[in-house]
Chains A and B, each alone.
Chain A
Amino acid sequence: MEKKIQLLIIFVLMSMGLTYGICVQMKTVSKNGTTVNLTSTQSKLKDEILRISEKYDNLFAELEEVEKQLEVERQNSTSNNSNLATLEENIKQRNLALGLTEVTGTGVKIILNDSNITTATNPFINVSDLLVHDGDLMNVVNELFNAGAEAVSINGQRVISTTAIECDGNVIKVNGTKIGAPFEINAIGYPELLSGGLSRQGGTLELLEARGLSINLSKQNSIKIPKYAGAIKFNYATNIENY
C-alpha cells in the first residue's frame, strides 16, 4: 500500500513538473513573440537583440541599485562632518544642474501628435506637413528654455546639455533613444511664462497648429521629470586650471 502511494506521489510530481515547464516556456515564447517564418539569420539576430536588451535591462537595474547605495553611503559618511556636508550639498546642486536627479515642480505639459487630416480628405496637402518632425520638437524645446524652463523631458527622455534631437526615419531619436508620436513634452518653470512663450502670436505652437497638428497645452501644478539615464562623459573637453 505504501509503495503504491509513493508511486502515485512520484507520478503527480513528474506530470506537474512537465506541464509546469511547458506552460512557462509557452508563456515566455508568446511574450517575446517568436512567430512566423523568420529565416535563420533573422531569428538569430532577433535572438541576439533580445539577449542583449535583457542584459542591458539587468545592468541598468544594477546601476540604479548601486547609485542608491552610493547615496546612502555618502549620507552616512557626511552626517557628522559639517565640512563634508557642505561638499555633499555642492554635489547635489551640481547634479541638479546637470540633470542627473529626478525633479518636480510647477510647469507645463504639451502633447504633440500627428495631424488627423489625411490625403484622402484633402489631396492637395503636403504629407510632410502632417507629421511631427525633429525640428518641431527642437523648436518647442528651444522656446521652453528661452522662457526659463529649468528641466525639460520628451517622452521621458531628459533634455540635458549634450542631448541631440535627430530624425531617424519614421521615429525621432532623443538621447539616442527612439521615440514616436504622440510626443509628451514636460517642462518645469513658471507656468504662465512657459505657456505664454509657446502660444504667443506667431509663436512656435501657432505655426505647428497652422499645419494641422494636434496640440494640447496644459499648465501643471506639479510635474515630475525623470533624470538623465545615461552617463555624461567628456573625452576632449578638459578644465583649464586656475580659472
Chain B
Amino acid sequence: MIYLAIIVGCILGAILGINAPMISYTYSTYLAIAVVAALDSVFGGISSVLKKNFDLKIFLSGFFVNSILSILLTILGQKLNVDIYLATIFVFISRMFNNLTIIRRYYVEKWSEQLEHLRKIKAETDTNQSNNS
C-alpha cells in the first residue's frame, strides 16, 4: 500500500514538474540543495525502517526542516561570500552513502541467509534420498 502511494506520488510529481513553468536561474541553486536534503532524509527514512526504529515525526520534520535549513544556509553563504552549500552537499551526500551502505548490507545479508537456507534444505533432501535408496 505504501509502495503504491509512493509510486503514485512520484508519477504525479513528475507530470506536474514537467508541465510546470521553469524557475529562474538564480533560485535553481536553492532548489538543488533542497532536493539533495530531501533525498538524504528519504534514504535516512528507509534505513531507519530497516533498523526498525522508524518514527514518522522525525522523518517528516527532517524532510522539511533540513530542506529549509539548507536553503537558508546557502543564502547566508552567498551573503558572506563563503560556499557553504559545498559543505551542505558534502554532509548530505556522505550521510546518503552511509544510509545506502546500511540498506545494502541488510539486503545482502538477507539474501545470503536465504541462499544458505535453500542449500541446507537441498542437502537434507539429498541425504534423505540416499538413505532411502
B34 to A, closest residue via Cβ: A21
Chain A facing B: main interface SS: helix
Report the stretch among A5-13, A152-160, A231-239 that lies at the interface: A5-13
Q: A54: which B residues are within 8 A, CB to CB?
A: 24-26
- A residues touching B (Cβ–Cβ < 8 Å)? 4, 7-25, 27-29, 31-32, 50-51, 54
Interface string of B23-36 (1 = CB under 8 A from A): 11110100110110
Query: Interface size for chain B: under 10, 10 to 19, 20 to 34, or 35 or more residues?
Result: 20 to 34
Q: Are B9 and A15 in contact (CB under 8 A)?
A: yes
Q: Are A21 and B26 in contact (CB under 8 A)?
A: no
Contact partner of B38 among A8, A11, A18, CB < 8 A? A18
Q: Are A23 and B17 in contact (CB under 8 A)?
A: yes
- Shortest 10 CB-CB contacts between residues of A and residues of B: A23-B17, A19-B13, A15-B9, A16-B13, A12-B9, A20-B13, A16-B9, A20-B17, A8-B5, A11-B5
- A27–B16 alpha-carbon span in the complex (Å): 12
Q: A12: which B residues are within 8 A, CB to CB?
A: 5-6, 8-9, 12
Chain B facing A: main interface SS: helix
- B residues touching A (Cβ–Cβ < 8 Å)? 1-2, 5-10, 12-14, 16-18, 20, 22-26, 28, 31-32, 34-35, 38-39, 42, 56, 60, 63
- A16–B117 alpha-carbon span in the complex (Å): 40
- A21–B63 alpha-carbon span in the complex (Å): 13
Q: A27: which B residues are within 8 A, CB to CB?
A: 17-18, 20, 22
